[in-house]
Amino acid sequence: MHAIRDWNDLRARIDSPDRRCYAFFHPALIDEPLIFVEVALTRGIPAGIDPILSANRERIDPERATTAVFYSISNCQRGLAGVSFGHFLIKQVVEEVGRQIPRLSTFITLSPAPNFAEWLRRERATEASVALSEEDRAALETLDRADWWRDEAAAETVREPLLRAAAWYYLRARTPRGTPLDSVARFHLGNGARLERLNFAADTSERALRQSHGLMVNYLYDLEHIERNHEAYVQQHAVVAASAVTRLVKAPARDVVPVGD
């Protein structure tokens, strides 16, 4: 979730013609949603959150949009934190937005990676890590510098090693139950999405830098393949991923299902 700063920020997210907000309500809570999702209509897949949230962004005519971007999903009721309404909401929103704007051809998220930085910290501290080479471990020391992402040379030093590490994290890192380590990945993969793209320095807010070193992820919802992807995940804990991600890891694991771009 990206915090809403004030009423102007809220208005920019839901009042503009190229923005949508959908929510689940319950009769027992007439004026309070159970969960809501914020959607941006764009002309391409976003690689960062700033163009989505910026007050100075260029507005577009919804009829010229080609892409619906799910960029913030928020559970509103603490007592229902363990109930996954989001699975149902996203599928319904994909269908609804597609009916409203038939021109849309891509339904995708711009998602955080809340567990990545902690995993990477542990791998960097492990000399026997199979996820990181010695060269990558050395390059990733740049992450320990304050504001490394503001320095163009430092950012370029980190970019490729960080993306390789992220690919390994998403394709290989698992919980004891055999599911992906990342909580957001479990949500979207279990919902039938495919891991589409890793975005470097996509969110440079303090919170995102702390949790993910600025990494954000696109998950693609392809209506023709949602059920197949869902079954692959449920039955095999398979990570359906685009080749742009799988090729960052030299030898994909058996439970990684690469697909064409």
- The set of catalytic residues is 111, 188
CA distance 155 to 243: 24
CA distance 121 to 9: 34
